Amino acid sequence: MTVTSPDQTDTDLRSLLNDVLGLGPARAAALTANSGLFGALPELDSMAVAGLLTEIEDRFDVVIDDDEVDGDMLGTYGDLLAFIVRKRAEG
């Protein structure tokens, strides 16, 4: 298994959000740990969540169980990043 640094995961997640949600590089780069996601980004509506989760699974080589998907996971950029880092560590 390849271990990826949290910094690389951060870069990869910003790229994924840009690609999936069409945020644009500047908006994706401007996200902070406290930036709201679900309910705060108009691009991340309930229809976009499924596509986002599928891309996270594909790009980060993780499996997201249905019971893991909740408002806490998608609350802020920092929440989502921490979730992915944890899932990758469980690998």
Domains and CATH numbers, the chain: 6-90 (1.10.1200.10)
Rg (C-alpha) for the chain, rounded Å, is 12
Q: Which residue has 């945020």 as its token pair?
A: 23
In angstroms, what CA-CA distances link 16 with 13, 67?
5, 22
Query: Model confidence over 39-73: pLDDT tens digits?
Result: 999 999 988 999 999 999 999 999 999 999 988 99
Query: Model confidence over 23-43: pLDDT tens digits?
Result: 999 999 999 999 999 999 999
Q: How far apart are CA 26 and CA 7, in angstroms?
A: 18
Q: Give the model's pLDDT for residue 79.
A: 97
Coil vs helix vs strand at 69: coil
pTM of the model: 0.91
Q: How far apart are CA 45 and CA 29, in angstroms?
A: 20
